A and B are shown apart, each in its own frame.
Chain A
Amino acid sequence: MSSTVTSTDVTNHAIAAVAPKMDPLHHFLVTKQVDVSFLGLLDISISNSVLWMWIAIALVMIFFRLAFKNPTTVPGRMQSLGELGYLFIHGIVTEIIGDKGRPFFPYIFTLFYFILFCNLAGLIPGSFTVTSQLIVTATFSMSIVAFSFVYGFYLHGSHYLKFFVPSGVPVLLMPLMVPIEIISFLARPVSLAVRLFANMTAGHTMLAVMFFYVITLPWWGAWLPFGFTVVFTGVEIFIGFIQAYIFTILTCVYINDSIHMH
């Protein structure tokens, strides 16, 4: 390697320094907005993640406040939408858990609308996708699976351990089947958390990569990735809804497993 620096090298370096860099993961960065610490021991700063969580909650509350402001027997447009949203979750809970799922309805309702509004608010340019942080989704999924485990013991006592023993399997296969069942149970929170997190992260990363091509390509090439981003934003809205739906359904299934053991 020669150590001489030609003028072309200098120009290339200058171009490289000015050129926009592809950094599709930049918008997942958690930054502190307001520094707050609890007695100097615990960092409870308000980050953009916390801020957008609040915004999502506020949007859900405003939506349902508006929908049921003046409830009438014959619903208006907003009230129809609110009732549709209520009956949608009510249908899921009664279909999967049945009558015993009634105490869990408020939690599942809140969970669905929180995740849905976080997913959708993340599509606003300049916003932060709360559900693209593994810690957020893992907190949800781990608390749900831990709750279903404890609730199963609360309802069935030591009979709940039968949950890990598949029925209709020869006794000889038991040493093999029981660990598999236990591992599949332990995989539940991981798969539940990673599914939501990865879907949100992948979609937004893909959009960021395409936006990068929109600004770097010349005008006769830029319309191609631009058109793709328009279509893909629509797909992302759909995926945000589907992932919130899947998360809710699996939560119902896990709670149902601890109520009605298979």
Chain B
Amino acid sequence: MDATAAALIGMGLAALGFAGSGVGLGVLFGKAIEAIARQPAAEAQLAKYIWIGMAFVEAVALYGLVVAFIIMGKA
């Protein structure tokens, strides 16, 4: 296998990090909906933390993208 092919496979593997972010988003919004269903009055308070949490969870997936960019620069 030549180096370019290996780099392309590595970039694809770096995208696997998105799976973890997907699980995280599922857990985050699932729990949030559960919490709002139990206590609808707290929705406005919870919404703030949901969006902050969403930004953190999404960022984890994007670290994988950065790794892909680094590999792309080397290849």
Residues of A within 8 A of B (CB): 191, 194-195, 197-199, 201-202, 239, 242-243, 245-246, 249
Contact = CB atoms under 8 A, between A and B. Distances in A.
8 contacts: A191-B59, A195-B62, A199-B59, A201-B69, A202-B62, A245-B55, A246-B52, A246-B55
Contact of A242 (B55, B63, B65, B69): B55
A246 B56 contact: yes
A195 B69 CA distance: 14
B56 A199 contact: no
Contacts of A198: 59, 62-63, 65-66
A241 to B, nearest CB: 9
A201 B65 contact: yes
Contacts of B63: 194, 198
Contact of B66 (A194, A243, A249): A194
B62 A249 contact: no
- Which of B54, B62, B69 counts the most chain A CB atoms within 10 A? B62
Given A242-B54, A246-B52, A195 B65 contact: no
B51 interface: yes
A246 B49 CA distance: 11
A242 B66 CA distance: 20
A195 B56 CA distance: 8
B59 A195 contact: yes
Contact of B55 (A197, A201, A202, A243): A243
A242 B50 CA distance: 11
A239 B63 CA distance: 16
A195 B60 CA distance: 8
Interface string B38-69: 00000000000001101110110011011001
Nearest to B48: A245
Nearest to B72: A25
Closest 10 CB pairs of A and B: A198-B62, A195-B59, A246-B55, A242-B55, A202-B62, A198-B66, A202-B65, A198-B65, A242-B51, A194-B66
B52 A249 contact: yes
A156 B40 CA distance: 44
B30 to A, nearest CB: 20
A243 B62 CA distance: 13
A238 to B, nearest CB: 9
